[in-house]
Structure 1
Amino acid sequence: MRSSVLEWVAKGDALLLPIFLMALWWVASTQGWLPQQILPSPAYVLDTGRDMMSTGELFYHAGVSLRRVVFGFAIGATLGMMVGVAMGLSNRVEDYVKPLFLAFAQIPTLGWIPLLMLLVGIEETLKIIIIAKGALVPVTLNTFSGIRNVPVKYLEVSRALRFSRWQTLRLVILPSAVPSIFTGVRYGLTHAWTSLVGVELLASSEGLGYLLVWGRQMFWLDTVIIAMIVIGVIGFGMDKGLNAAEVLIQRWKKKEEE
C-alpha cells in the first residue's frame, strides 16, 4: 500500500512540469504575449487537431510514418543483431568488422542523406535506408556488449554439461544477453523514429515530418504543434511498449530459473 502511494505521488510530480507548461501556454495566448500567428491558443490547436482527425488527414500521415519506421526498424534491428552476434562470438570477426563499423557509426544518420539521394533518389528506399541505419548502430553495439558480458560461470557450466556450440548460444549466451539486447532495441527504435522524422523533413511529400514542413511553410503553427504532439506521443508509446515487453520477458526468465 505504501509503495502504491509513493508511485502515485511520483507520477503526480512527473505531471507538474507538463501542467505548468500548458498553463503558461494558455496564459501567454490569452494575454497576447505573442501574436496568434506565432503562438495559437490551446483551444485553437485542439480544434485543428479535431478537424485533422475528422478528415483523416492526421491518421493518414501518421500511418505513413509508422509504416516506414516498421519496415526500416525491422531491417536495421535484424542486421544489427546478426552483426552484433557475429562480433560477440568471434574475435576474428570483431577484429575485421568492429573498427570499420565504429567509423561508420560516427557519421550522423542524416549525414548520409546527400550521398544516398544521388544513389537511390528521394523515394521510399531512401527513407527505409536512413531509418535502418538509425536502428542498426545501437542494436549492434548493445548485442555485442551483451554477448561479451555473459558471466564466465555460465560458460563454465555449459562446458561441464558438454553443450554444443549451438546449445550454448541458444540456452546460455542469448538468454543472458537479453537485457542488453533489449536496451539496444529500445535505443534503436528511438533513433529510427527520430531519423524518420528527420528524413521526412528533408525529402517527403507525406508523413508527420512533412506535416511539420508544410505547416511551417504555410505559417500554420497549429498544424506544426499538432504534428509535434503526435510525434512525441507515438515515440513515447513505442518506448513504453518495449519497456513493458522487456519487463514481461525478465519475469518469465526469473520464473524459469526458479
Structure 2
Amino acid sequence: MNIKGEAVSRQIIKSKTQFVLPKNVKIVLLGSIIPAILLVVWQYLSYIGVLEAHLMPAPTVILAKIFEFAGDGSLWGHIGITLYRIFFGFLIGVVAAVLFGSLVGYFRIAEALLDPMLQAFRSIPSLAWVPLFILWMGIAEPSKITLIAVGVFFPVYLNIVSGIQGVDRKLIEVGKIYNFSTFDLIRKVILPASLPSFLVGIRSGLGLGWMFVVAAELMGASQGIGYLLVVGQNSYSPETVIASIVLFAILGKISDSILKKTEEKTLHWQDSYVKKA
C-alpha cells in the first residue's frame, strides 16, 4: 500500500473511533455548564438551609410551580399573550425605526430636523410613558403594545443611523463611478454595508422589548408572565415570582437565539475573524 493509501486508511480508522460533536451542540453544552453549576449550588444551599425557603425557594420548587401552571393550562395562556404583545410591539417598533433611521441616516436635513427630538424622547424613562399611554389608550392591548414598540424603537433606530452614516465613503464613490442611481446605490452599497449594524440593533431592540413587556403587563393586565409577577408579589409567593423570571429568561434566550441564527445566515458573506476561527 502506498503512502497516500495508508493516510486514507488512518483517517478512516480515526473517524470511526473518534466521535466529534456538531458545532452547535458543542456550543449549547458549553453554554449550559455555568447555569448547571449555579443550579446545583442553589439546590444544595436550599437543601442545607442557607437559603430560606420563604425568600429563595429551591430550583425543584420553582420547577414544580411551572409544571403546576402547565398542568392547569394557565401557563400557555400567559405565555401566548406575552408573545403576542412582544411580536406586535417588536414589529411596530422595528418598522418605525427603519423608516425614521433611514431618513435620518441618509438625508442630512432629516437628521437636523428629527434627530434632536428623537434623542430627547430616548432620554425619557420607560415608566414615564405608562400613565400617558393609559390616559390616551386605556389599559387594553394598544397601550401595552405601544409601550413595547417605544422600547424597541430606539436601539434599532440608533444602529440604523450609525450603520448608514458609517458606510465607507469610497464605496459610495465607486457606485457613482459606475453610474448607480440613488435606488441602486441604496440597494447595492448602503444596505449591505449597514446590514450588520442593523441586525445588532434588531437584537438589542428585542432585548429591550422583553424588558418593556414587564412594564406593559403592569398596566392593568389580567394575563401574561408579567401579570404572574404581580400575582406572586401580592400573594407573597416567591416561587411564582421566580418562576415568572425564569420563563422570561427562557423565552428571551430562545427568541434571541433565533435572531442570532438569522443574523449568521444573513451575513454569511462576511469574512470575519470569528467565522474563520
Normalised to the residue count of structure 2, the TM-score between the two structures is 0.84
TM-aligned CA distance change 1:11 to 1:242, over 3 Å: closer
**Mapped pair 1:115 → 2:132:** yes
SS at match of 2:236: coil
d(CA) in 2 for partners of 1:206, 1:9: 37
Kindly provide the CA deviation profile for residues 211-255 of structure 1, in whole angstroms up to 9, marking residues without a partner as x.
Answer: 01101211222222211111001111111111111110111567x
In structure 2, the residue matched to 1:36 is 53
The answer to whether the 8 A contact 1:110-1:130 is kept is: no
Kindly provide the CA deviation profile for residues 32-91 of structure 1, in whole angstroms up to 9, marking residues without a partner as x.
Answer: 234433232322222222121122211110110000010011001000011000011110
d(CA) in 2 for partners of 1:143, 1:27: 47
d(CA) in 2 for partners of 1:11, 1:240: 11
Q: In structure 1, list runs of 5 or more residues that go unmatched.
A: none
* Structure 1 residue corresponding to 2:114, chosen from 97, 104, 109: 97
In structure 1, the residue matched to 2:275 is none
d(CA) in 2 for partners of 1:182, 1:224: 32
In structure 2, the residue matched to 1:69 is 86
In structure 2, the residue matched to 1:20 is 37
In structure 2, the residue matched to 1:84 is 101
SS at match of 2:267: helix
d(CA) in 2 for partners of 1:210, 1:13: 33
In structure 1, the residue matched to 2:4 is none
d(CA) in 1 for partners of 2:54, 2:219: 24
The answer to whether the 8 A contact 1:201-1:210 is kept is: yes
Structural RMSD (CA): 2.4
SS at match of 1:201: coil
TM-aligned CA distance change 1:167 to 1:135, over 3 Å: same
The answer to whether the 8 A contact 2:159-2:201 is kept is: yes
TM-aligned CA distance change 1:175 to 1:10, over 3 Å: closer
Kindly provide the CA deviation profile for residues 80-138 of structure 1, in whole angstroms up to 9, marking residues without a partner as x.
Answer: 01100001111001001011110011112222112221121111111011000001101
d(CA) in 2 for partners of 1:87, 1:39: 48
In structure 2, the residue matched to 1:55 is 72
- Equivalent runs, 1:175-194 vs 2, <5 Å: 175-194=192-211
**Mapped pair 1:133 → 2:134:** no
Task: Tell which deviates more after alignment, 235-244 or 21-30.
Answer: 21-30
Larger-gyration structure (1/2): 2
Q: Percent identity?
A: 34
Q: Which has the higher helix share?
A: 1
In structure 1, the residue matched to 2:167 is 150
